[in-house]
Amino acid sequence: MAVLTLSLITSIFKPHKPHLSFLFTTKPTPIFLHHPIRRRFTSNAVSALTTSVQHSSTDPNPNPLKKPSVPTFQQAIQRLQVWIDRAAWGGIFKGVLGICWMRHNAMQQHRGWSWDNESPDIFKGSRSRTMECCSRWMIAPFWTFGLFEGKGADALLKIADIVASGGRYVEPSIRPDDSRYGENPNRLQRHTQFQFCFNPSQVILKPDPGNSQDLFIRSLSALGIDVNEHDIRFVEDNWESPVLGAWGLGWEIWLDGMEITQFTYFQQAGSLQLMPISVEITYGLERILMLLQGVDHFKKIQYADGITYGELFSENEKEMSAYYLEHANVDHIQKHFNLSEAEARSLLDLGLAIPAYDQLLKTSHAFNILDARGFVGVTERARYFGRMRSLARQCALLWSKTRESLRHPLGVLSEPNDLVSKEILEVALDKVPVEPRSFVLEIGTEELPPDDVASASQQLKSLVVQLLETKRISHGEVLAFGTPRRLVYVESLSSKQVEIESEVRGPPVSKAFDNQGYPTKAAEGFCRRYSVPLNSVYRRTEGKTEYVFARVVESARLAFQVLSEELPGSIAKISFQKSMRWNSEVMFSRPVRWILALHGDLVVPLIFAGVLRQIESAESYVDVIRHAGISIDIEQRKKTILERSSSLAEGVDGSIVIQSGLLDEVVNLVEAPVPVLGKFEESFLMLPKDLLIMVMQKHQKYFAMTDTNGQLLPYFISVANGTINEAVVKKGNEAVLRARYEDAKFFYKLDTSKKFSEFRNGLKGILFHEKLGTMLDKMIRLESIVAEIGLALGVGEDKLQTIRDAASLAMSDLATAVVTEFTSLSGIMARHYALRDGYSEQISEALFEITLPRFSGDVLPKTDAGTVLSIADRLDSLVGLFGAGCQPSSSSDPFGLRRISYGLVQVLVDNKRNLDVRYAIGLAAAVQPIKVDARTIDDVHQFVTRRLEQFLVCVTFLPTNSLSISLKFSPVITLPNYLSSSRVDKGISPEVVRSILTERANMPYLAAKSAYKLEALSKGELLPKVVEAYSRPTRIVRGKDINNNIEVLFLKKTLTILL
Give the DSSP per-residue string, 998-1059.
Answer: HHHTT-HHHHHHHHHHHHHHHTSSHHHHHHHHHHHHHHHHTTS---TT---HHHHHHHHHH-
CB proximity list for 622: less than 8 A, separation 6 or greater: 490, 632
Q: How far apart are CA 248 and CA 241, in angstroms?
A: 9
State the pLDDT at residue 151: 41
Q: How far apart are CA 210 and CA 551, in angstroms?
A: 51
Q: Does 10-17+69-328 carry CATH code 3.30.930.10?
A: yes
Q: pLDDT grade, residue 472 (50/70/90)?
A: confident
How much is the average pLDDT of 901-917? 94
CB proximity list for 713: less than 8 A, separation 6 or greater: 652, 654, 705, 706, 707
State the pLDDT at residue 1048: 55
- Tens of pLDDT, residues 438-452: 888 888 888 898 889
How much is the average pLDDT of 492-511? 82
Q: Which residue has the higher pLDDT, 209 or 529?
A: 529
State the pLDDT at residue 482: 86
Q: pLDDT grade, residue 488 (50/70/90)?
A: confident
Q: Is the pLDDT of residue 524 over 80?
A: yes
Q: pLDDT grade, residue 649 (50/70/90)?
A: very high
CA distances from 152 to 98, 139, 888 (A): 20, 21, 33
Q: Give the residue ranges of DSSP H helices in 826-967.
A: 828-836, 841-849, 864-883, 897-910, 917-926, 934-954
Max mean pLDDT among 352-361, 406-415, 534-543, 836-845 falls in 836-845
State the pLDDT at residue 612: 53
Q: pLDDT grade, residue 610 (50/70/90)?
A: low
Of 37-41, 251-255, 665-669, 745-749, where does mean pLDDT reach its minimum?
37-41
Amino acid (one-letter) located at 668: N
Q: Is the pLDDT of residue 109 over 90?
A: no
- Tens of pLDDT, residues 674-713: 999 999 999 999 999 999 999 999 889 999 999 999 999 9
Q: pTM here?
A: 0.69
State the pLDDT at residue 36: 29
951 by DSSP, 3-state: which?
Answer: helix
State the pLDDT at residue 617: 52
How much is the average pLDDT of 106-119? 31
Q: pLDDT grade, residue 753 (50/70/90)?
A: very high
Q: How far apart are CA 644 and CA 652, in angstroms?
A: 13
- Tens of pLDDT, residues 277-309: 777 888 888 889 988 898 988 899 998 888 998
Q: How far apart are CA 894 and CA 383, in angstroms?
A: 9
3-state secondary structure 956-985: EEECCCEEEECCCCCCCEEEECCCCCEEEC
State the pLDDT at residue 1038: 78
How much is the average pLDDT of 312-323? 89
Q: Residue 849: what are its φ and ψ, rounded to 5°? A: -70, -15
The fraction of the chain above a pLDDT of 70, given in percent, is 74
CA 637 to chain centre: 23
Of 220-224, 408-412, 602-606, 679-683, where does mean pLDDT reach its minimum?
408-412
Q: Provide the residue ranges of all domains of the chain, joining segments of one domain with +.
A: 10-17+69-328, 429-497+558-627, 500-554, 634-751, 762-954, 962-1058
Of 45-49, 69-73, 290-294, where does mean pLDDT reach its minimum?
45-49
Question: Up-side HSE of residue 516: CA atoms within 13 Å toward CB?
Answer: 3
Q: Is the pLDDT of residue 457 over 70?
A: yes
- Share the mean pLDDT of the chain: 76
CATH class of the 429-497+558-627 domain in this structure: alpha beta
Q: Does 762-954 carry CATH code 3.40.630?
A: no
Q: Is the pLDDT of residue 62 over 80?
A: no
